[in-house]
């Protein structure tokens, strides 16, 4: 932190970063997917699991050396149409809450309006990033997603 700045300058700089930044996308390529799996029982949270893509790259690696923020969880497809799904993201061993989402999968392809933004806490560099999910129906329903985030570099 630059100690020559006054408190208002620090706040202004932080607010500017939150509002104007270089957004990254996970997974990082179109041939990769990120699948979030709900608990096998209806209306029950799954166990916390690290967020990984189909190439076995963890979202955690993007935050390996920089603090950052998750700005959106975008659900691209769901295995079950016309059902309610809920998702939560956390970080660290104590699962510090970053954000929560509830969507309904009307046609298996969700409009952007069902891809809400996140204004959660900053994720410190080096922390493991987790998700958990539930669906109103049983049998471990899934959703494919991408996550938008930015790093403090």
4-18 per-position pLDDT tens digit: 666 665 555 655 555
Report the pLDDT value the prediction gives residue 112, as an integer from 0 to 100.
46
pLDDT surpasses 50 at 74: yes
Q: Of 35-44, 60-69, 73-82, 88-97, which range is least confident?
A: 73-82
Strand order in the sheet with 96-104: 49-50, 129-135, 84-91, 96-104
Supply 25's token pair: 């996308």
Q: What is the mean pLDDT of residues 79-92?
A: 93
Query: pLDDT category, 110, cuts 50, 70, 90?
Result: low
**7 found inside a domain:** no
Q: Is the pLDDT of residue 115 over 80?
A: no
DSSP H or E segment with residue 144: strand 142-151
Residue 109 has pLDDT above 90, yes or no: no
Answer whether residue 31 is part of any domain: yes
Confidence of residue 91 (pLDDT cuts 50, 70, 90): very high
CATH classification of the domain holding 145: 2.60.120
Better pLDDT: 16 or 66: 66
Among left, alpha and beta (phi > 0; psi -120 to 50; other), residue 100 is beta
pLDDT the model gives residue 120: 80
**Domain, as residue range, for 56:** 23-151
Residue 84, domain member (yes or no):
yes
12 is a domain residue: no
Within a domain: 131: yes
Pick the range with the lowest mean pLDDT from 43-47, 80-84, 118-122, 143-147.
Answer: 118-122
Counting the structural domains of the chain, the total is: 1
Q: What is the pLDDT of residue 81?
A: 84
Phi first, then psi, for residue 12 (nearest 5°) are -60, -45
Give the integer Cα–Cα distance in Å for 61 and 128.
8
> Which residues make Cβ contacts (< 8 Å) with residue 81, sequence separation at least 6?
105, 106, 107, 108
Q: Is residue 27 part of a domain?
A: yes
Q: Is residue 107 part of a domain?
A: yes
């Amino acid at each position: 932190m630059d100690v020559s700045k006054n408190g208002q300058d620090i706040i202004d700089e932080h607010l500017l970063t939150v509002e104007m930044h270089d957004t990254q996308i996970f997974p990082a390529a179109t041939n990769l997917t990120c699948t979030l799996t709900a608990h096998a029982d209806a209306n029950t949270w799954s166990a916390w699991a690290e967020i990984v893509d189909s190439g076995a790259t963890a979202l955690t690696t993007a935050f390996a050396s920089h603090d950052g923020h998750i700005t959106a969880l975008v659900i691209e497809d769901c295995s079950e149409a016309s059902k309610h799904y809920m998702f939560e993201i956390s970080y660290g061993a104590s699962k510090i809450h970053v954000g929560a989402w509830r969507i309904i999968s009307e046609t298996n392809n969700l409009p952007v309006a069902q891809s809400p933004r996140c204004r959660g806490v900053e994720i410190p560099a080096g922390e493991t990033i987790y998700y958990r999910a539930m669906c109103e129906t049983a049998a471990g329903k899934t959703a494919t997603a991408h996550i938008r985030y930015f790093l403090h570099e």
